[in-house]
Amino acid sequence: MAGRFPSSVLFCCDHNSVRSPIAEGLMKKLYGQRAYVQSAGVRNDREIDGFSVAVSAEEGVELERHRARSFEEMIDWGDDLGGFDVIIALSPASQRHALELTRYTSIDVEYWPIMDPSGLGETREAKLHAYRQTLNQIKDQLLARFGPPGQE
């Protein structure tokens, strides 16, 4: 069931290199400028994952210029977590971190259990298959939460 459409959304995962950039890119593609959308990770110790870039491109989402960042970097760069209507955590670690950072605010933190494909598959095609599954999980969650694109 679709909930109220927020004016701002922050997606988060462990490294901001796989799941949260895919979610950010898909939400921007599906819903355009209806909401301000960003992503972050618990840590920023990786670059954007090449398989994430590849499967997102198949959906018409460009991630090549994405720069991974952590919650702390967001705050250091002047992004106020209090400005987001909802934080959507895509991993247990990011959910815990988001809840800790927002414990004194009234920001909604949602948890979507999205598979981490980064260690799956032995061949390139098997890896791409795993990443496509993750992308499809995210897309299904977006549509369930925010409704079909183009709906006001």
- pLDDT (0 to 100) of residue 151: 61
Is 65 inside a domain boundary?
yes
Is 73 inside a domain boundary?
yes
Is 151 inside a domain boundary?
no
CATH of the domain at 72: 3.40.50.2300
> What is the full DSSP assignment across 55-102?
HHHHTT---TT----BHHHHHHTT--GGG-SEEEESSHHHHHHHHHHT
Which residues on neighbouring strands pair with residue 109, listed in sequence order? 87
Is 126 inside a domain boundary?
yes
Containing structural domain, residue 13: 8-146
For 143, how many CA atoms within 13 A lie in the half-sphere containing its CB? 8
Is 25 inside a domain boundary?
yes
Is 140 inside a domain boundary?
yes
β-pairing, 108-111 with 36-41?
unpaired
Q: Whole-model pTM?
A: 0.91
- pLDDT (0 to 100) of residue 86: 94
For the chain, which ranges sit under pLDDT 70?
1-3, 151-152
Is 1 inside a domain boundary?
no
Q: Are 52 and 104 in contact (CB under 8 A)?
A: no
- pLDDT (0 to 100) of residue 1: 44
- pLDDT (0 to 100) of residue 2: 54
Is 85 inside a domain boundary?
yes
How many domains is the chain built from?
A: 1
